[in-house]
Structure formats: C-alpha cells, structure tokens
Amino acid sequence: MAAEKNSDGALAPLRILDFSRVLAGPFATMMLADFGAEVTKVERPGGGDETRSWGPPYDERGDATYFQSVNRNKESVVLDMSSEEGLAELRRRAREADVLVENFRPGLMADKGLDHETLRAENPRLVYCSITGFGSGEGGAALPGYDLLIQALGGLMGITGAPDGEPMKVGVALVDVLAGLFATVGILAALRARDRTGEGQLVEVDLYSALLAALVNQGSAYTIAGVVPRRLGNRHPSISPYEVYATAEGELVLAVGNDRQFAALCEELGASELASDERFATNPDRVANRDALGAELERLLAARPAADWASALLARRVPAGQVNDLGAAFAFAEEIGLAPTVEIPRDDGSSVRLTRNPIKLSATPATYRSAPPTLPEE
C-alpha cells in the first residue's frame, strides 16, 4: 500500500527515490517524508532492508523495532538491481524523481548505471545524495562504514568513558544520526539552489567527516590550540560543577554554567561560603579545583535524595536533574507537555507508537500518514 500523500506539507510534492538502508539514509528520508515528501524506499529481494531482521526487540507482530524507527511515511518497492528489468524500472523512477538518496559502497551505483553523472544526463533537476563511511576517494572508499568503527577512528571513543576505564561508544549509533541530519540539510540546500538555477547537484556526506564536524569545541581544542582532549567520564573539560554526583538516594546531574547558578547552588546546599571560597569563586577556579569541589558537593548532597535536590535546585534556576532511564525520560517529556510520541495506524487496524519529529512548523507541521511499510511480496 502506498503511503498517504500530504499535499499541504512543506515539501510536497517532492518525490524521493530512496536506495538507502540501515540508519543514516533512512533517517534523512524519513525527516523529509514527515514534511510531505513522497518517499519510495527501494528494497532488495530476499529480505529488504537489513534492519528488518535486526532484533530483538520486536513488536507484537514480530517486526523489528529498529527498522520502524526510521521508515514511517514511506512506500516500499522490491526491485532487483541485478536484473535488466529491475534496472530499467529504477532508471525510469530516477527520471521522475526530485531527489535520490543512496548509501551503497562507492562505485556500486556507477556499476549499475545509476550514478549521478549518468542520471543527471536524463534528469538535470535531480538532487543526488550519496552517503558513505569515509568518502568516495581512493583512500576511504574501501573502508567499511560502521558506526562503531567510526566512533573509534574518529576520536569520539577517545573522549567518552571514565579516565581510568576503557574507551566507550555512545549508547546509540549517533554518527549515523548526525550524518542523516547533515544529509537532510545538504538535500534541502541543493533543492533551494535548484529553485534558483533549475538544476540539481550531487550532495556527498561521509560519516567520518560528520563526526569530526560534530566534535565542535573538542575538535577546535585540537585544531586551534593543539590540545588532544582525554576521557573525563561525565565531567566537562571547561565547566565545573558539570557532572554526576551521588546523593542520599540516586544520582544527580549538575550542569552549572555560570557564577550566579553556582551561588544559588551553594545557598540551597546551606554552604553559601563556598561561592566566595577563592578555590571556587569563578569557573576557571572551579575547573582547576574540581576534585576538592566535588568532595564538598557530595558531602552536602548526601543529606537528601536526588529527586528532592533536583526539584529545589530547578526552582532556583540551577540546571539539575536525576539520571533517567528511557521509560522515565519519555514520562518526563509527557509531564512537561512535549508530547514525545505519536500513534500511527497500520493497515491491519493496529498501530505503532513512535517518537515524534522534534521540528515544529507553525503553518506546515510534520504529519504521520503511514506506519513503516511491510515488505511487499516479491
């Protein structure tokens, strides 16, 4: 069944031919689909997108929740790129598309006659987005673009984890998500240029560069000052107190970003004198003496549970909060009125609950027209 159209969406009637699999590409095309783009997901015979079998967990129908996280609002077709008939149909669809997205290994689309240069000859308005692991150049094309590998090679694991522990990956495939967001921005920029020139272009995003760009202040510490950041656990390299602290019950996060907040923290703790202590009077002082400060804070925080401290400190506009699991995280979003999830009906009368799109547009909001598609019969 085709995904329902949204003719009033911000990106309607944009047509996207989506060859991408797994996470980065599907995340980008779902973001565009939420705002009205018509996305046709091309899947391989014999199982489709790999994430259809990535589980547990599964839903009550036995479908992998991983696949469903990034594939709503799409129509799925099964076409065999190894057959002349399949390739002919894909070329026909490419001639009619506004955007094509792919994340195959570099060279595969060219081998099939589906590369940017070939397709632009037949469809000059096509915006062609290619997502790779390490770029399409000779040095990176042969490297496998897996998120964990890129977190390791790209330095993210080198700054994540306890100082005396092993390097740690982030608890979600964050590099894929970042690359998907960069791809979305690149596609929209190319479409805006097409509005002006009438011509599409090639958009290239590689996961490795996406990670390096996302290192922001940690990256500039190296590029500008030659500082190689190290693992600090939950500490911040430039701010204190900015980490996790033990309390009488549970852990409390403090993210104190200025001297006013620190003074308010000390007052709530019943230790106003700490704010004028020469070791802690300014943020640079607190960073230089973070161990001594941490010992003082944990001694004082031991008097009450984390939930009590969080409530009292937030009332004073001091950034503080408990460490939530995902269940508590979604519950907190509901509590403060963020409405974090949406229920999307399926063809069989059931529904799937997914995280909503975080972007709010006042006139052309995201819509949730169809659940992630089941794999069509071949």
Which is the catalytic residue, given 49, 176, 195, 348? 176
Closest by alpha carbon to 106, among 188, 249, 204? 204
CA distances from 367 to 35, 218, 269, 354 (A): 6, 36, 46, 12
The dihedral over CA atoms of 309, 312, 318, 324, expressed in degrees to the nearest 10, equals 50
Closest by alpha carbon to 376, among 355, 353, 347? 347
Is residue 80 annotated as part of the catalytic site, yes or no?
Answer: no
161 torsion bin: left (phi>0), alpha (psi -120 to 50), beta (else): left
Q: Hey, which residues are catalytic here?
A: 176
